[in-house]
Structure 1
C-alpha cells in the first residue's frame, strides 16, 4: 500500500473519530439544554400552580367575606323586624300585665276579704237588765255583712285576727257597767261612772275562729243607769274589722 493510501485511511479514521466526538458532544449539549428547559418548565408550572392556589384562596376569602356580609345584613334585618314586633307587642304586654294585676287583686280580695263594721246607738237605754245585749242598730258601715244589727252581734266569717272597739256613755252622774264578750265569755269590761257626764271605751284585738260571735252587753248584777245616746249625737258605738287571716 502506498503512503498516500495510508494517509487517506488515517485521515478518514481521524475524521470519523472527530465526527463521533462531535456527535457525542452535540447529544450531550442537547440533553443539557433539554434538562435546563425541563427545569424551567417545572419552575413555571410550580409558579402557575402557586398562583392558581393564591387566586383560588383569594376568591374563597372574598366569597366568605361576601357571605359574612350577607349574613350580617340578614341578622340586622331580623333584629329590626323583631324590634318592630316587640314594639307592637309592648301595649299588649302592658294590657296583659294590667289584667293580671286586676285578677291578682280579685284573688287577694277573695283570699283576704274586706270585713269591717261601724254601728251606733241612736237612743238612750234605761234600766238595763242583767246581761242585756246592746243592739247598735244604726249601721254606718258593714263590709262583709258580718254584723247583725237585729241582735247586735258580729259573726266572724273566717279565722283571723280582728280588732273591736266600743264606747259607752253614762247619763249625768250615772254609772254604767258593760262588757264585751265572745261566745258568752267576757273578753273586756268597761265602766262609766265619773261625776257629770262620762264615757268608757274599750279596744281589743282578738283571735277569732269562723262563726264565733262578739258583742257588747250589760254586766250581770252591775249598775244599770241609762246609757246616754241620742239620734243627733249617737255617742254609744260598736265597731270592728278584720286585721289579717290566720
Structure 2
C-alpha cells in the first residue's frame, strides 16, 4: 500500500507538470530554441552540458545561446574545429560570452570532450558518435564512463551523463535503445524533492557521490514495473522543488 500511495503521488506530480501547475515551464536549455538549428543541437547541447557543473544552468545556457549567435566564435560548437584549435584561442572564445568561467579548467574540458567526440565519430560530431554506438545507451555508457572516461570530464559523471541523455532525447528527438538505463539525474532539486516525497531520508541531502547513487537507485527500484522510467520524473521533481513544493493537488493555483 505504501508503494501504491507513493506512485500515486508521483503520477499526480507528473500530471501537475503536464497541466503547467508547477511554474518555471521555461527550462534552462530552452534558451537555444529558435537560435540553434536542429542539426547543430546535438553538438551545442553536448558541449554545453560538459560545463553544466556547479553552475547556474539558466545563465550558462543563455551564455551559450549568445555565443552561438556570434559568428566569430560559433566554431567553438564544432568538435572537430575545437580539437584542432590552440588552447589559447579556445580560451579567449569561451570567455567572451562567459560560457567558460574558469579560464584554465573549462577550456581544457571543452577541448577534451571535443577531441573525444571527434575520435569516436567518422563524421567528427556528436551525431556521428551516437551512430557509432547505434544509439544504444549501454554501449554509450561503456564508452563514455569506462573505456574512454578520461576524455569526457564532467560529462561522464552519472549526474550530468544521465541528464545529458534526457536532454538529447527531449531536444533532438533521438530514439535511444535501452532507454530504461537512463537513471534519474540527482542534482540538489531532485534530492530535495526525493526527500520531500519520503523516498529517501534527509541524510542524502549531504550530496555526496554515495548519496546521489542512493537516490538514483531508490528511484530505479521504486518505479520498477510502473511503466515509468526514472528520467520521466526528472523535470516534474525539479520544477516542484524550484516552486517551493506546492501541495500535490490538481487544484494547485498557478500563482
Q: Quickly name the TM-score band, shorter chain normalised.
A: under 0.3
Structure 1 length as normaliser, TM-score? 0.20
More strand as a share of residues: 1
More helix as a share of residues: 2
Larger Rg: 1
Structure 2 length as normaliser, TM-score? 0.20
